[in-house]
């Protein structure tokens, strides 16, 4: 009876060893499966992870590059919120001309505003010229000279645009509104250069005739708005 008991105990010991061995093998196998899964990266999931981390940590990208959120807003900011030197200069020019127009009491005759290409100063033609004439009125000398003084402080190109209404022009001097609008633009350019010594290469003149209206030509008020001269200070990117 004793000998049989020893055999049974020995058999149980061998079975316990096998169980322990199988557990170890199973754990090792699981470890290798996990390591393999970690080494296999799904590109799409990885990209999603990067984007998620980027949003969560204020724009940190791979490689340690920091994304400045303000960069995406550069084109949406008005000129007075942008920090580069040219925009600061144009803002100063805008404010100086705006104050000058107020000093001359010309708020109704001269408008100033920002456009995608720069600063636009719009003169009612009656402020600068008599009807059918391209010769500057003496009353316009002071304001043009003062504006020219401000323009001489920056290096931007300046274009002067002449516009008319659609009432036909047919004279020996001006066969059409093209000639009239071009001559008026040239008169302004010449005066700006002569009074403030603005470099000629910075100045250009264009006549649009009646072909670029901003109001209807069916009413006198609309035709008056269309008779205008624009002085445009161009941004560098528009030059």
Query: Any idea where the domains of the chain sit in the sequence?
Result: 2-71, 77-238
- What architecture does CATH give domain 77-238? 2-Layer Sandwich (3.30)
Q: How far is CA 119 from CA 8, 91, 116, in A?
A: 103, 9, 8
User: Strands 203-207 and 158-163, how do they pair?
Assistant: parallel
User: Strands 228-234 and 118-124, how do they pair?
Assistant: antiparallel
pLDDT digits (tens, 9 = 90+) for 55-96: 554 444 444 444 444 444 445 445 544 447 888 999 999 999
Counting residues of the chain whose pLDDT is more than 90, the rounded percentage is 61
pLDDT digits (tens, 9 = 90+) for 138-176: 999 999 999 999 999 999 999 999 999 999 998 999 999
What is the pTM assigned to this prediction? 0.65
**Does residue 204 have a pLDDT over 80?**
yes
Chain-centroid distance, C-alpha 181: 30
The whole-chain average pLDDT of the chain stands at 81
Chain-centroid distance, C-alpha 107: 28
Give the helix ranges, DSSP H, for 40-137. 43-56, 85-103, 125-128
Helix or strand (DSSP H, E) at 161: strand 158-163
pLDDT digits (tens, 9 = 90+) for 101-136: 999 999 999 999 999 999 999 999 999 999 999 999
pLDDT for position 216: 97
Collapsed DSSP state (helix, strand, coil) of residue 180: helix
Residue identified by tokens 């209404």 is 165
pLDDT for position 25: 77
pLDDT for position 83: 45
């Amino acid at each position: 009876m004793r000998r049989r008991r020893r055999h049974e105990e020995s058999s149980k010991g061998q079975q316990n060893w096998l169980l322990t061995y199988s557990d170890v093998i199973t754990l090792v196998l699981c470890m290798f499966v996990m390591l393999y899964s970690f080494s296999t990266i799904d590109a799409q999931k990885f990209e999603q992870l990067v984007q998620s981390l980027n949003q969560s940590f204020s724009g940190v990208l791979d490689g340690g590059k920091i994304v400045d959120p303000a960069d995406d807003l550069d084109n949406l900011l008005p000129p007075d919120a942008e920090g580069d030197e040219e925009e600061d200069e144009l803002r100063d020019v805008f404010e100086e001309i705006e104050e000058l127009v107020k000093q001359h009491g010309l708020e109704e005759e001269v408008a100033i505003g920002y456009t995608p290409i720069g600063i636009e100063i719009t003169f009612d033609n009656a402020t600068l010229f008599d009807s059918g004439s391209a010769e500057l009125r003496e009353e316009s000398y002071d304001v043009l000279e003062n504006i020219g003084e401000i323009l001489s402080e920056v290096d931007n190109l300046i274009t002067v645009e002449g516009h008319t209404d659609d009432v036909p022009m047919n004279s020996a001097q001006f066969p059409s509104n093209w000639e009239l609008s071009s001559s008026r633009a040239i008169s302004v350019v010449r005066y700006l250069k002569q009074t403030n010594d603005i470099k000629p290469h910075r100045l250009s003149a264009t006549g649009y005739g009646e072909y670029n209206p901003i109001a209807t030509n069916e009413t006198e008020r609309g035709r008056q708005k269309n008779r205008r001269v624009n002085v445009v200070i161009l941004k560098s990117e528009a030059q």
